[in-house]
Amino acid sequence: MSDMLTQIKGLASQLRWAAEIDAPSIGTHSEVLCVGMGGSGISGDYAAAIAEPFGTRVSVHKGYGPVPPWAIRLRPLVVAVSYSGNTEETLDFTVSARDTGLPVAVVTTGGRLGKMAEDEDWAKIDLPAGLQPRAALGYLLGAALRVLEGAHAVDDQRLAFVEAAEFAGRAVEEGSDTWKKAEEIAGALSGRIPIIYGGGPISGVVAQRWKTQINENAKMPAWWSVLPELDHNEITSWETMPEVTKDLLGVVALTDRGDHDRVASRIDFTRDLTSDAVPWVGQVGSSGTFPLTRLVSLTVTGDLVSLLLAEQAGVDPVPVNTIEKLKKLLAKEDE
């Protein structure tokens, strides 16, 4: 656990790094398409939540090419994000974007994507290397937001980086309110499959992050859903197997002041209607002035929960052996 904890504790310094780097000058773009997978791709989802109030639409593509017809028509700025620079899906899509003549900017530590950016003379932000991608969120998101600043798609985020860094630095210290909350939730989730519910642009995207962090760090299944959509389908799924679900599953609700006013009522009513079949083990509200800080506040809690669940399960949170095995199988198929 210690090495991943050290990496996650680096979030504050990563955000401070983002506050100090320069935004590349890449014209004006109100339409952006972020491309990335896994720990790199989530930065696009976070950037989309931050950019929305500025009137910028950030679409997120997680997969191979080709470029979809809507992007050929609207010609968005493509922001290719790959921590390693060698993510095959991201590379495939970026080649398609290049061949289609779309403008491209790159966020990476190097690899084939970094080389392509140099060859094509694309705007590029080089990231510090040496981390698991999922533990480099501050670098990845910070650089992506700097690219959006350079495209006049969002306002200057430096004050937001500073506030978020200060929060993250306090939150990851053992004994902090965030740490205590994480311990409480991880304890309540012991032996259960976590279900993370969000309710808006910020709480919803962080629910996704909680799910993937639990997958990769604790090596556990988990899922996420977002209100109010889940009240039109998933709410009925608790009706037929309560004798199973009440012992094996647990819901955590994430909230943010940007959630619609009706979402709070929906959370209360949904909990009342389903708690006999699935326990609601905790609720976490965001903190901070800026959207970035509110994202970070919910994120840190989830990262700590995932580490504590890994500790409970007796697994090392750092390696992702099954993912590496899959990559080797794909590489062998290409030989």
Residues 166-188 have a mean pLDDT of: 97
309 burial class (0-12, 13-18, 19+ CB within 10 angstroms)? buried
Residues 8-33 have a mean pLDDT of: 96
Q: How far is the C-alpha of 20 from the C-alpha of 23, rounded, in Å?
A: 9
232 is catalytic: yes
Give yes or no for residue 52 having a pLDDT over 70: yes
Closest CA to 145 of 38, 53, 24, 31: 24
For 195-244, the pLDDT digits (tens) are 999 999 999 999 999 999 999 999 999 999 999 999 999 999 999 999 99
CA distances from 127 to 6, 45, 131, 165, 236 (A): 18, 19, 10, 17, 45
Determine which one of 20, 174, 232, 332 is catalytic: 232
Determine which one of 9, 62, 152, 327 is catalytic: 327
166 is catalytic: no
Determine which one of 89, 163, 216, 219 is catalytic: 216
Task: Look at the chain and count its residues.
Answer: 335
What is the pTM assigned to this prediction?
0.96
- Could you tell me the maximum CA-CA distance found in the chain, to the nearest angstrom? 60
Hey, what domains does the chain have and what are their CATH numbers? 2-161 (3.40.50.10490), 173-313 (3.40.50.10490)
173 is catalytic: no
